[in-house]
Amino acid sequence: MTDEPGKDLAPRQPQPPAPPMDPEQLRQFQEFQRFQEFQRFQEATGQAPQPPQQSGGKRWWLVVLGSRLFWRALFLLLVVVSVVWAYNHFFGVDDPGDIAQDSGGVTGPAQGLSAPAGLQGTVGMFYKHVSFADTTRACTLILRDDTRQKFANAVGASDCAAAVKELKSQVTSVDKYQQVMFPPDMLKTPTSTKVTIDSCALTVEGGPRLGTFVVEKVGSGWVITDWSPSTCG
């Protein structure tokens, strides 16, 4: 007698249910599903949208660091900062908004510069400060009170700050006046710690000549230690 097919096969046992996922496993599984959906969307559209936000806002900085736009913006910012630093370092700037035009006196010690002549030297900067009526910076280039007073008396002013304001009123072109030209010999490194710079030897346009300066090296900077009127006005 032939047995019926499947007669001796044991009945199938029901499969036990899958163990439940803990919260962390569930979160990782959901993130993986979102990532797969994101990949399928890219393949279908050929675009590169921002990936879906991770749960709780985690790892958003990974998306930022992986963005080309972020690195281009950072590179551009570094270039701009470098250019501004280099310009200020080698050429120097005066911020008109920071100029103490109404200053009534001198505060702090004399501020010497790294050279006696030249546009960034002590005498050149003195002309520049007068062109902006920057009384504080101009007068702190002069070392002693008696020299400041001598300068003020020659201008017919009560003090150095008032003298700077009076001379500023005679400036007809700030751009030209702050660009005083020095002869080549004055631009060389001095062989002594004391030099005399007569404004008659300078090319001055757009305002009055400011006399004869005695400039000495004090510490690491050059300051005005004496002053007298020039014969050329």
Spatial strand order in the sheet of 221-228: 194-198, 212-218, 221-228
Closest by alpha carbon to 131, among 164, 98, 157? 164
**What is the structure's pLDDT at 19?**
61
CB atoms within 10 A of CB 213: 26
Judge residue 230's burial from the number of C-beta atoms within 10 Å of its C-beta, 0-12 exposed, 13-18 middle, 19 or more buried: middle
**What is the structure's pLDDT at 201?**
95
Distance (Å, whole) CA 208 – CA 118: 18
Please answer whether residues 110 and 142 qualify as being in contact, where contact means their C-beta atoms are separated by less than 8 angstroms.
yes
Half-sphere exposure of 106 (CA within 13 A, CB side): 23
Distance (Å, whole) CA 142 – CA 112: 9
Please answer whether residues 34 and 40 qualify as being in contact, where contact means their C-beta atoms are separated by less than 8 angstroms.
no
Contacts of 66 (CB under 8 A, 6+ apart): none
Contacts of 154 (CB under 8 A, 6+ apart): 163, 211, 227, 228, 229
Distance (Å, whole) CA 231 – CA 72: 60
Kindly give the residue spans of alpha helices, DSSP state H, lying in 97-220.
122-131, 135-139, 145-155, 160-168, 174-177
**What is the structure's pLDDT at 73?**
80
Give the 3-state secondary structure of residue 46: coil
SS3 content of the chain, % helix, strand, coil (to 5): 45, 10, 45
Per-position pLDDT tens, the chain of length 233: 555 555 555 555 666 565 665 666 666 666 766 766 766 666 666 655 555 555 545 566 666 666 777 777 887 888 787 777 666 555 544 433 333 333 334 444 567 888 999 999 999 999 999 999 999 999 999 999 999 999 999 999 999 999 999 999 999 999 999 999 999 999 999 999 999 999 999 999 999 999 999 999 998 899 999 999 988 86
Please give the DSSP secondary-structure letter assigned to residue 191: S
pTM of the predicted model as reported, rounded to 2 decimal places: 0.55
Distance (Å, whole) CA 119 – CA 128: 8
